[in-house]
Amino acid sequence: MRKWSNIYRNISILTQLGLSLAMPLLLCLFLCQQLSLRFSLGEWVYIPGFFFGLGGSFMTAWKLFRSIMKREEEEKKKRETAAFNQHRG
């Protein structure tokens, strides 16, 4: 059963990573479209919007990566402590 919980956890992490990469870019491009239509700014507004969206995507992906690595580190320490206590006692 533990195997299935690990599979489900990894699938949810992968899904969260995909959404973290896609949503900031899509939101920035949507905002650029609205700015272009409402204020007649032209098509040039998509260029900075694309780069701001990529920046937002990379920042959210980086934060997700850091939280995953921290969680894995804590689990590793917990397993090492449990193994040490079992061996000791």
- Domain limits for position 16: 2-88
Q: What total of structural domains would you count in the chain?
A: 1
- pLDDT tens digits, one per residue of 8-30: 988 998 898 888 889 999 999 99
Q: What's the Cα-to-Cα distance from 80 to each of 1, 3, 10, 77, 83, rounded to whole Å? A: 22, 20, 22, 5, 5
> What is the DSSP annotation of 9-65?
HHHHHHHHHHHHHHHHHHHHHHHHHHHHHHH---GGGHHHHHHHHHHHHHHHHHHHH
User: Would the pLDDT of 61 be above 90?
Assistant: no
pTM over 0.85: no
